[in-house]
Structure 1
């Protein structure tokens, strides 16, 4: 996990956040990069360099 995704997870409180622990490594998708967690995901959008986190 790198860059903006890591920064967002840290800002949320790492594994103590609502996301929990990572379930995947960071991977590319059609929108940019994403990391899946126990209870949600963090998505980095390459088109506008923004990051969002969402629960499942």
Structure 2
């Protein structure tokens, strides 16, 4: 599997996991979990952007 495909897939996974953590954090009233989820979501978006860039350059 190409690095671009891997980064796109893992990025999507991190975005989804981050959103889930944020939702659970709201339900259980845990600001710490909400922040962790937000950070994971941002990290996933960055990873997706890296994957898109790699794909555009053929890597």
Query: If the length of structure 1 is used for normalisation, what is the TM-score?
Result: 0.27
Q: Which has the larger radius of gyration?
A: 2
Q: Which has the higher strand share?
A: 1
Query: If the length of structure 2 is used for normalisation, what is the TM-score?
Result: 0.26
